[in-house]
Amino acid sequence: MRCNRISLAFAALLAAAAPAAAQPAEGGVVKQEGEYGGVSRDAPAKGARPARAPKHTLTWLGFTPKADGGAEVFFQAAEPFTVAQRVEGGTLVVVLEGLKKQARNTRRPLDARFFDTAIARIKTKVVRAKRAKRGSAGHPAGVEVRITFKDAKDAREGSVRAEKGAEGMSYVYLTFPPPATPGQIPDKVDRPSSTTSAAPAGE
C-alpha cells in the first residue's frame, strides 16, 4: 500500500493536528486517513491579521477537498483582486489580477493527487502582461496559478466567490465539482521531488 503525505497548512499551527494524508485502498479507491479535510481559511487565529501584510502579494494559497469529491481552492491578499480563467488542455490557468508578488510559501507547488477530487497539482508564478497572438492567448500581469486535473475531461473554470475576512484580508474562492471518474491517481504528474505546503505570510 502506498502512502503519500501532504501538508496544506503550516507546521506551527497544525503541529498537533494529524497531517494531510491519503492513500489508495484496494481496487485503486482513494481514502482519507484520520479526519483531515484539507486546509481551512479559518486555520489562523480568528480576527488575527498577518503582521504587516505585504501589498499586492499573494499571501496564502489553500486547497480543501470536499466530502462529495468536489474541491475548493482559495487565495488570500491584503487588498481586493480579481481573477481571469482559461482552460489549456487538462490545466486551468488562473491569473490573479492586481497582485504582483508572492509570499515565499505560495511558490511551493501543492501535490493533491491522493485526495479523491479532480485536482492533481497546483503551482504558481508571477507573470508579466502578454499580448494575444494568433494561436496564443494573452493575459494581464499578475500571479498565474496553474491547476492541473487528473483527467483532462474534468478541466474547467471554477465557480468564483470573493469575500472580505473578519481580519481585513481579501479572499477569492474557486469551487470545482467532483471528478467524472472518482478514484483516479495519476501515475506520473509534473511535480517537485517532495510534497510542500502553503501558509499565510507573516507566520
**pLDDT tops 90 at residue 16:** no
Greater confidence (147 vs 51) lies with: 147
- Which residue segments constitute the domains of the chain, with CATH numbers given? 4-176 (2.60.40)
pLDDT, average across residues 33-50: 47
**Grid cell of 60 as nine digits:** 496564502
**Grid cell of 7 as nine digits:** 501538508
Among residues 176, 196, 197, 162, which one has the least CA distance to residue 77?
162
% of residues, the chain, pLDDT over 70: 64
DSSP tag of 136: B
**pLDDT tops 60 at residue 196:** no
Q: What is the residue-averaged pLDDT of the chain?
A: 75
Which backbone phi and psi does 172 adopt, to 5 degrees? -130, 130
pLDDT, average across residues 18-47: 42
Quick: pLDDT tens for 87-112. 999 999 999 999 999 999 999 999 99
Euclidean distance between the first and the last CA atom of the chain, given in angstroms as a whole number: 35
What pTM was estimated for this model as a whole? 0.67
Residues 27-63 as b or e (16 or more Cβ within 10 Å = b): eeebebeeebebbebebbeeeebbeebbeebbbbbbb
- What pLDDT is attached to residue 138? 64
- What pLDDT is attached to residue 49? 54
